[in-house]
Chains A and B, each alone.
Chain A
Amino acid sequence: MAQTIQLRVSRYSPERDTQPYFQTYEVPVKEEWVILDALNYIKDQIDGTLTFRWSCRMGICGSCGYMVNNEPKLGCATFLTQYAPGPVTIEPLRNFPVVRDLVIEITDFLEKLKKVKPWLIHDNGDAAGEYLQTPDQLEEFRQYSMCINCLLCYAACPISGLDPVFVGPAALALAHRYNKDSRDEGSAERMAVLSHPEGIWGCTFVGECTKVCPKHVDPAGAIQQYKLAAAIDGIKQFLMPWGQRQEKQ
């Protein structure tokens, strides 16, 4: 195995550059090193100006998402050795504005996330107390609750790049997570927000969001299930409008 590997890292300084360019660094290859270790090596030993986000180093915080050889990856969960002998190209996540080097601007995502109301909604407001839930009920939404907002799915989703108003995979998967939660009563509220072209109907099921998800959340599946639920809801409203009124009362 080669002793070193070349990393081609995208650099962009808003003070100086009009567009990103690549800078090549040579770093040691160690069996236990992930991409994030290599970036930290560059930051500590070679070039302190390199800017990138990271925090937990264990696939929990979702901060260290980068494009690695054109694929969205978590820096802390992608071993360097799999790219030997290199070079490895590292770029900021696709479909987001770049603030500096590998750091992306995520305010737009946070706004979209807020829109889907990713919290428990219920009639009794702030009443304290227990909400009992069986293991089977937990299993209904557990997979979708694993999302760490790393945004790899947005980088893999061409619709997110082409249509900036599209709510996107992670936010829709999280909406589905709360809809499937037996303690939640907000599905009608969320449906009103999401059952339109910017929401679930914007998804054309490319399916890459599910493939790149490091937590196996399956946003593509969640969105298709949401579409099915919305279609059934629409048919029910058309066939039994009185039934819908009764439910609301």
Chain B
Amino acid sequence: MSHPGHASTQMSSAAPPSVSSPAYTEFHPRWYRPQVSTYWWLGKWAYVKFILRELSSVAVAWTVAFMLLQVRALIRGPEAYARFEHRVSSPWMIALNGIAFAFLLLHSITWFNLAPKAMAVRVGGKRLPAVLISGPQYLAWVVISAIVFAIIISRG
């Protein structure tokens, strides 16, 4: 070929796979149906984040179970609560709750960020900016956390 600016074609492999195709008919060709890999979610950071967000529900369930166990120990009296405290102060329990806390943060942040997508609030014909919907939720989160923290510190 003599066209300037282009080189030549080359095969990435030695030759394309070539087999006879008995399933093929002229007006109903054989389609190639790609299979989704089990590890599809590792292909892109956005998909990994999505899987982590979905997994965060396990951390939410764990936190609920943990709080129920704490309440049960509290109801059973000081000795039972002391045993509970001793158990949860072990390094592996602290590590587990640390991981659960990180997942809970992820869960909360992604939930607050979702809210403006789901709520298309229009005022005066214009859609409210996302920050005006997620902003108050973040504010409430910070204020409530600060109050809880203050109570813990003042009683501590």
Contact = CB atoms under 8 A, between A and B. Distances in A.
The secondary-structure label for the interface of chain B is loop
B32 A19 contact: yes
A24 B32 contact: no
A46 B6 contact: yes
Interface of A: 3-4, 8, 11-28, 41, 45-47, 70, 94-95, 97-100, 105, 135-136, 139-140, 158, 161-162, 204-208, 211, 218, 220-221, 224-225, 227-228
Instruction: Say what secondary structure dominates the interface of chain A.
Output: mixed
A70 B43 CA distance: 9
Interface of B: 1, 3, 5-13, 16-19, 21, 24, 29-34, 36, 40-41, 43-44, 46-47, 50, 54, 114, 117-120, 122, 125-126
A226 B122 CA distance: 16
Contact of B12 (A22, A158, A225, A227): A22
A138 B1 CA distance: 55
Contacts of B50: 158, 204, 206-207
Nearest to A30: B5
B43 A4 contact: no
A235 to B, nearest CB: 15
Given A24-B10, A46-B8, A99-B29, 13 more contacts: A14-B21, A20-B32, A21-B11, A21-B17, A23-B12, A26-B7, A97-B32, A135-B125, A139-B125, A158-B36, A161-B40, A208-B44, A224-B118
